[in-house]
Amino acid sequence: MTVYDELVGQEPVIEQLRAAAAAGAEALAGTGGGGMTHAWLFTGPPGSGRSVAARAFAAALLCPDQGCGHCASCHQVLSGSHADVEVVRPAGLSYGVRETRELVLRAASSPTGGRWRIVLFEDADRSTEQAANALLKAIEEPPARTVWLLCAPSPDDLVVTIRSRCRLVTLRTPPARAVAEVLVLREGIDPDVAAAAARAAQGHVGRAKRLATDEQARRRRAEVLAVPGRLSGVGPAVEAAEALVKAAEAEAKELGASLDAEETAAMRQALGESAKGRMPRGTAGALKELEDRQKSRTTRMKRDALDRALLDLASYYRDLLVVQLGAGVDLVNADRERELRSVSGPPEATLRRLEAIMVCRERLGANVNPQLAVEAMAMALRTG
């Protein structure tokens, strides 16, 4: 067992991180010639394991044996309880300059364990322009024992001044076979179910696990894949778009409700809530700030859920294009092969429909109203 066991299909990355952890140990011992890189950028498509790789690397840097996976330090890092590792997860659609400045101040403190002070910044691409500028100053001149681990889908998602100062770690989409093996060996899932879930998740390990174990997740995906067959007219297209948006809202509400309740209860207790539920004076502002953060997170979760649905929809048309062109590659939705072969139309129309889905994703990323963006996409899918 090592800290890298959770990385699926990422052997080159594991080798790179092991070499870097060894260099870090040499830097601490004063025997390394090249020194330690203090800023790293982990990139890769959704589900490739960017944050998993960054957390494993943090554990390896803090472990006396460079990532054994069983010492107290490794367990603390992997469980998120190590005092020298701060994990930043932007709760809303963006991460502001005020939070970044506070983070930079905390990152400048000395490590309590005598090795490294590590900041693992998930979704660093959500930083605002002002936040990125504040972050740049910290990366340009980091304290001797501070290491920044940034995660983003691609290098282009960060400003060039930041990415040029980071050492790049590029993860790939794990092969479906490797994902299926993980589900079978670690989760005890039936091999056929694991294989189908791995194909449907398109390399996203976490999503593959949900699809293999959650009937509701499978049902939601099946409803998305049924959309192309419902676009028989303008009215049905608008209804299909509304259903997609409402399903994303319901999923986000379901995921966020328990988080909101736990956070609110913890905040009220920390602020001194009485046994009768009364709050001390002067606490309304803190509760309002928490409520605003939760609303922002729910919005982000809604858009993330909608984006997952659009990717599932794109997989349908991708498979249709494979069938139309007679390409010798596996289908993502192999269970729908008969249906796909019965669909008429030229490949050019399928390409236009794929483009319409990608345009919708771009519009959602630019904060266009989700209902309007999805309705426009549904109309384009109907006409081809």
Q: At residue 356, does pLDDT exceed 80? A: yes
What are the tens digits of pLDDT across the range 38-71? 999 999 988 889 999 999 999 999 999 999 999 9
Neighbour count for residue 333 (Cβ, 10 Å): 20
What are the tens digits of pLDDT across the range 140-167? 888 889 999 999 999 999 999 999 999 9
Beta bridge partners of 119: 86, 148
DSSP string, 95-113: B-HHHHHHHHHHHTSPPSS
What are the tens digits of pLDDT across the range 229-251? 999 999 999 999 999 999 888 88
pTM attached to this predicted model: 0.79
Beta bridge partners of 146: 117
- What Rg do the C-alpha atoms of the chain give, in angstroms? 23
Closest by Cα among 195, 220, 217, 193 to 207: 217
